[in-house]
């Protein structure tokens, strides 16, 4: 039932690639030892003997070498019997012959099988203790909790006192430390939040703030180093399957197969979501229509525009109506019309269908339009929490006044306007100055402020000092920039701390130099052997001498 193009998709190419790599290793190791064994040079033979023991760790070599031994053995005994008529005891399974090959293959089979299990099921108890390396991360006061914002602290208390049990998504002290260095800074640091049904929660933050890592932990893609999250009562640490059954995820980078069409993608994911066959077509058609992908439903995903790929990723995320949907920058690369179309889809999902959406975006407009609550993430911490209006009131405070000065050719008029404003509105602070445009910040919260500002501006317009002006509340972007400045300093700190220590770098350099010098010497010896072989057998090297003597 799966589309034919799936056969040529990434997993099948990866499988073929791995098979080729295996064959390559087998051929290279077997041929190397065979070639080295041909020469009479004692040193090369010694290297050959060592390599034959070392390569036993590769099952491919064991197989290749074993087959060659079997072939040689067959020819040898066949010749003895046929031409000399001698009966010799044939012990092919003794240790020095095929015995060690078979034993090593058997042991490496067990080893690689266990390794596969180990990597596949990281939930094994011994793995979970060691792999994350920091399961019990204790975040000290300097890490930011001491100067935590009161809304963030209130949410932390609400979560830790189990007052958020009705929330569909509960994030409880979730932490992720990627590096195993002792002083590594967590990518996500003890974040707490509860998201209610029908809520759209926004995660804002600069690049590298920890948004995608939070999503990866919530979707079970990476294991948390500390804390936990519950989706519909299922824990991301203990019941990843239960969690995944309840969520849809639109990743930051489209995880699409370029050879499958949008329809085929949706059919594929609908089957994974266990949607009954009789409803499959109607569900897929509805998804295509909902996201406006009807025209492109039968074109290969690789040929779709960036915006349409994002729409398809979003359609996959909301397929089957999961109760929680994670959207990681869903509108990046979309034109304004498509963006607004997607916004209305998200609004319908939250308001009409009662789904909970967690969204990251670098567009303040988008967060303001969609999110009921939002947070700004800086260096893995939540810096604030609340509705956009609450954040603007709390952190923005005041108004932003933009002016367009009258005379564009003379700089003096701009100076006049500046002098006029500083005399009439002493609380105003100049924030930006571009050619004839000025922007002031008014922090005063006096009730008469607005009336006063309008009066002053109207007078300025009447005397032709300014052409026009606008007065607005401080924007969400101003609030964001205020927090974002904190991350710049810490980024540099992080890079210097996470730089690979000089000792490791030097060891690495030393090892590569040694390997290079050994392989150079080995190659030189092999080429000398080849030349002397040619000299003995073909007499090629005598020709230059003859030319010289002539």
Ligand X SMILES: Nc1ncnc2c1ncn2[C@@H]1O[C@H](COP(=O)(O)OP(=O)(O)OP(=O)(O)O)[C@@H](O)[C@H]1O
> How near is the Cβ of 495 to ligand X at its closest, in Å?
9
* Beta-carbon contacts of residue 367 (< 8 Å; ≥ 6 apart): 202, 204, 359, 361, 374, 388, 476
> How near is the Cβ of 41 to ligand X at its closest, in Å?
47
Residue nearest ligand X, Cβ-based: 212
Helices 306-318 and 336-347, packing angle to 10 deg: 10
**Residue with smaller CB distance to ligand X, 350 or 379:** 379
287 with 266: CB under 8 angstroms? yes
> How near is the Cβ of 403 to ligand X at its closest, in Å?
34
**Residue with smaller CB distance to ligand X, 64 or 210:** 210
- The residues binding ligand X (CB under 6 A) are 178, 187, 205, 207-213, 252
**Residue with smaller CB distance to ligand X, 53 or 493:** 493
**Residue with smaller CB distance to ligand X, 214 or 297:** 214
**Nearest alpha carbon to residue 368 among 155, 200, 248:** 200
The Cα-based distances of 460 to 405, 406, 419, 470 in angstroms read 10, 10, 12, 13
Burial grade of 490 (CB within 10 A; 0-12, 13-18, 19 or more) = middle
286 with 266: CB under 8 angstroms? no
- State whether the Cα torsion 80-81-84-85 is positive or negative: positive
> How near is the Cβ of 221 to ligand X at its closest, in Å?
10
> How near is the Cβ of 309 to ligand X at its closest, in Å?
17
Strand order of the sheet with strand 169-176?
A: 188-195, 169-176, 226-231, 234-235
> How near is the Cβ of 171 to ligand X at its closest, in Å?
14
**Residue with smaller CB distance to ligand X, 118 or 253:** 253
**Residue with smaller CB distance to ligand X, 26 or 205:** 205
* Beta-carbon contacts of residue 327 (< 8 Å; ≥ 6 apart): 250, 314, 317, 346, 357, 358, 359, 360
244 with 220: CB under 8 angstroms? yes
> How near is the Cβ of 206 to ligand X at its closest, in Å?
7
Query: Strands (DSSP E) along 474-516, which ranges?
Result: none
d(CA 529, CA 425): 92
> How near is the Cβ of 1 to ligand X at its closest, in Å?
36
217 with 223: CB under 8 angstroms? yes
User: Can you give 10-72 as a three-state secondary structure string?
Assistant: HHHHHHHHHHHHHHHHHHHHHHHHHHHHHCCCHHHHHHHHHHHHHHHHCHHHHHHHHHHHHHH
**Residue with smaller CB distance to ligand X, 210 or 224:** 210
- State whether the Cα torsion 184-185-187-190 is positive or negative: positive
**Residue with smaller CB distance to ligand X, 161 or 207:** 207
> How near is the Cβ of 331 to ligand X at its closest, in Å?
14
**Tell me, what DSSP letter sits at residue 303?**
G
d(CA 170, CA 228): 8
> How near is the Cβ of 291 to ligand X at its closest, in Å?
23
**Residue with smaller CB distance to ligand X, 175 or 213:** 213
Q: Please state the φ and ψ torsions of residue 201, each to the nearest 5 degrees.
A: -105, 130
d(CA 310, CA 329): 9
> How near is the Cβ of 185 to ligand X at its closest, in Å?
8
> How near is the Cβ of 207 to ligand X at its closest, in Å?
3
**Residue with smaller CB distance to ligand X, 30 or 361:** 361
d(CA 528, CA 532): 6
**Residue with smaller CB distance to ligand X, 32 or 213:** 213
- 515: tokens are 């390997």
**Residue with smaller CB distance to ligand X, 104 or 177:** 177
């Amino acid at each position: 039932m799966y589309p034919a193009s799936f056969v040529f998709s990434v997993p099948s190419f990866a499988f073929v690639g791995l098979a080729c790599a295996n064959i390559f290793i087998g051929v290279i190791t077997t041929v190397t030892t065979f070639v080295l064994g041909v020469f009479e040079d004692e040193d090369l033979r010694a290297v050959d003997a060592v390599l034959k023991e070392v390569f036993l760790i590769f099952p491919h070599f064991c197989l290749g070498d074993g087959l060659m031994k079997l072939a040689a053995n067959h020819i040898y005994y066949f010749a003895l019997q046929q031409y000399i008529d001698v009966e010799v005891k044939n012990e092919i399974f003794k240790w020095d012959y095929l015995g060690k090959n078979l034993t090593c293959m058997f042991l490496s089979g067990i080893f690689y099988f266990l390794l596969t299990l180990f990597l596949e099921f990281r939930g094994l108890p011994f793995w979970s203790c060691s792999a994350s390396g920091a399961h019990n991360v204790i975040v000290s006061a300097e890490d930011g909790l001491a100067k935590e914002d009161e809304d963030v602290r209130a949410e932390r208390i609400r979560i830790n006192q189990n007052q958020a049990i009705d929330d569909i998504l509960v994030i409880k002290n979730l932490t992720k430390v990627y590096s195993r260095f002792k002083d590594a800074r967590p990518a996500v640091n003890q974040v707490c939040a509860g998201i209610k049904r029908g809520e759209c929660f926004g995660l804002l933050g600069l690049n590298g703030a920890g948004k995608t890592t939070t999503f990866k932990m919530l979707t079970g893609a990476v294991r948390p180093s500390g804390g936990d999250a519950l989706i519909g009562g299922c824990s991301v640490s203990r019941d990843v399957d239960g969690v995944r059954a309840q969520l849809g995820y639109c990743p930051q980078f489209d995880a699409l197969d370029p050879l499958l069409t949008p329809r085929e993608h949706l059919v594929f994911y609908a089957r994974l979501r266990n949607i009954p066959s009789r409803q499959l077509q109607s569900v897929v058609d509805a998804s295509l229509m909902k996201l406006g992908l009807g025209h492109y439903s039968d074109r290969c995903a690789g040929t779709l525009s960036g915006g349409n790929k994002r729409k398809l990723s979003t359609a996959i995320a909301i397929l089957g109506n999961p109760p929680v949907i994670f959207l990681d920058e869903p509108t990046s690369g979309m034109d304004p019309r498509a963006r607004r179309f997607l916004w209305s889809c998200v609004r319908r999902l939250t308001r009409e269908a009662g789904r909970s959406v967690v969204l990251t975006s670098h567009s303040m407009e988008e967060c303001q339009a969609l999110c009921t609550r939002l947070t700004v993430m800086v260096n893995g911490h939540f810096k604030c929490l609340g509705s956009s209006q609450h954040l603007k009131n709390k952190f923005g405070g005041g108004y932003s006044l933009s002016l367009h000065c009258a005379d564009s050719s003379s700089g003096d008029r701009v100076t006049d306007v500046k002098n006029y404003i500083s005399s009439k509105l002493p609380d105003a602070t100049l924030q930006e100055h571009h050619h004839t445009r000025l922007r002031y910040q008014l922090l005063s919260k006096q009730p008469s402020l607005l009336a006063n500002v309008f009066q002053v501006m109207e007078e300025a317009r009447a005397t032709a000092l300014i052409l026009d002006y606008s007065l607005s509340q401080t924007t969400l972007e101003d609030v964001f920039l205020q927090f974002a400045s904190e991350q710049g300093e810490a980024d540099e700190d992080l890079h210097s701390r996470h730089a690979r220590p000089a000792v490791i770098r030097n060891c690495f350099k030393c090892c590569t130099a040694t390997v290079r010098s050994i392989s150079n010497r080995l190659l030189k010896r092999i080429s000398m052997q080849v030349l002397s072989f040619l000299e003995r057998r073909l007499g090629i090297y005598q020709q230059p001498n003859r030319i010289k003597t002539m």
